[in-house]
Structure 1
Amino acid sequence: MSHIDTTLLEQYVSMLGPNGLRESMTTFNELMPSYMDELKTMVAAKDSSATRRQAHKMKGACRSLGFVRLALAMEYIEKDAWHWQGVESLLMSWPTEMSQDIKTATEWLDKNSPDQA
Structure 2
Amino acid sequence: MTNSDVIDTELLQQYYESLGEDGLEMTLKTFDQVIQGYASLLHEAATKKDEAQLRSQAHKVKGACRSVGLKALAIYMENLEKESWDWPTAEQWLVEWADNVIPHRQQIQQWLEQQSH
Q: TM-score range by the shorter chain?
A: over 0.9
Which runs of at least 4 in structure 1 moved beyond 2 Å after TM superposition? none
User: 1:108 is matched by which residue type in structure 2?
Assistant: W
Aligned twin of 1:53: 56
Distance 2:99 2:47 in 1: 20
Q: Structure 1 residue 95 and structure 2 residue 98: aligned?
A: yes
Give the CA deviation at 1:35. 0.5
Tell me the matched-pair count. Answer: 114
Aligned sequence identity (%): 39
- 3-state SS in 2 of match to 1:82: coil
Distance 1:110 1:59 in 2: 25
The 5-angstrom pairing of residues 22-41 of structure 1 reads 22-41=25-44
- List gaps (5 residues or longer) in structure 1: none
Q: TM-score, normalised by structure 2?
A: 0.93
Calculate the aligned-residue CA RMSD, in Å.
0.9
- List gaps (5 residues or longer) in structure 2: none
The 5-angstrom pairing of residues 1-117 of structure 1 reads 1-2=3-4, 3-114=6-117
1:56-100 CA-to-partner distances (Å, cap 9, x unmatched) read 000000111110000000000000001111111121222221101
